[in-house]
Amino acid sequence: MAESFSKALDFSQRVGLITGIKFGDRVKNINHSQFSDDSLLIGGASTTIAKHSKSLLDKYMSYSGGMVNNLKSYIYG
C-alpha cells in the first residue's frame, strides 16, 4: 500500500502538481521519504501544493485504513 502512495507522489511531481527538494543536477527531486510507520512529505510552500499533497494523503489513508497522528504531525515553512 505504501508503494502505491509513493508512486502517486512521484507521478504528481512528474506532472507538476507537487514539488520536491533538488540535491544535485543528476538526481531527481525528492518529494517524500517513508519509514516503517512514518512518512515525511517534502514540497514547495504554496497552498496549491499543500492541498494536492493533503488530497493524496487523504486517499492513501482511506485505502490503507491508517490515520494521521496530529500530535506528531508538523508543517514547517
Domain limits, the chain: 2-64
59 falls in which pLDDT band (50, 70, 90)?
very high
Alpha helix positions (H), 1-77: 2-14, 47-64
CB neighbour list of residue 56: distance below 8 Å, 6 or more residues apart: 5, 8, 9, 12
State residue 11's pLDDT score: 93
State residue 15's pLDDT score: 95
Check: CB of residue 67 under 8 Å from CB of residue 61: yes
22 falls in which pLDDT band (50, 70, 90)?
confident
User: Model's pTM, two decimal places?
Assistant: 0.77
Radius of gyration over alpha carbons of the chain, in Å?
Answer: 12
37 falls in which pLDDT band (50, 70, 90)?
confident
> In the numeric block, which cell numbers belong to residue 54?
493533503
